[in-house]
Amino acid sequence: MEWLGWAAAVMLVITLFAQVRKNWEEKKLKGVNPLLYYGQAVASLCFALYSFNINSWVFVVTNVLGFLSALVGIYLVHRYR
């Protein structure tokens, strides 16, 4: 059933980066609270470290990519808000 975890990870990462891409292209983030991306960054980093500790690679990869998307979101929200 590990394939199900990887499938869910792919779907989640696609949706995260789709939103970041939309924000990048539109250059509009009015009304977006920066805490959204800061919270995502902190949570993703913590989950990635925890997942590494328990050897759950599907969650390590997913959360590292979530962390990266949050960093881009933080940049965008401060640049275009």
pLDDT at 7: 97
Per the prediction, the chain carries an average pLDDT of 94
One DSSP character per residue, 13-76 reads HHHHHHHHHHHHHHT--TT--HHHHHHHHHHHHHHHHHHHHTT-HHHHHHHHHHHHHHHHHHHH
pLDDT at 52: 98
Question: Which CATH class, in words, describes the domain spanning 2-80?
Answer: mainly alpha
DSSP code at position 5: H
What is the radius of gyration, based on Cα positions, of the chain?
14
Domain boundaries, the chain: 2-80
The distance from CA 80 to its chain's CA centroid, rounded to whole angstroms, is 19
pLDDT at 66: 96
- Asked if 59 contacts 2 with a C-beta cutoff of 8 angstroms, the reply is no
